[in-house]
Amino acid sequence: MHKTARVTVTGVVQGVGYRYFCCRKAGEYLIRGWVKNERNGSVVVLAQGEPGSLEQFINELREGPPGAAVQKVTVDYEQTNDQFNSFEVRRF
């Protein structure tokens, strides 16, 4: 059974390759969904995957790529009927 998490990441997470880092890590953990920058400087990730893989993915988001300075990661688990086939970078 898959689990869905909406993750909001704040700190220095825009302009440092954070969204593309998310894409690479999503591929490693077989996570589907999307990532996008928000106008307030945060990054939001909607991620679906097996519970163990999803937790490992979220732990990677807490670190981020070189150049990022993650200050806070907020995770909200959701019920959703949306099913994603891949992981993508979305615009604002």
Task: List, by residue number, the catalytic residues.
Answer: 19, 37
Question: What 8-state DSSP symbol labels residue 20?
Answer: H
Burial of 82 (0-12, 13-18, 19+ CB in 10 A): exposed
Give the count of beta carbons closer than 10 Å to the beta carbon of residue 18: 22
What residue type is 14 in one-letter code? Q
Give the count of beta carbons closer than 10 Å to the beta carbon of residue 17: 16
Residue 5 tokens read as 């998490």
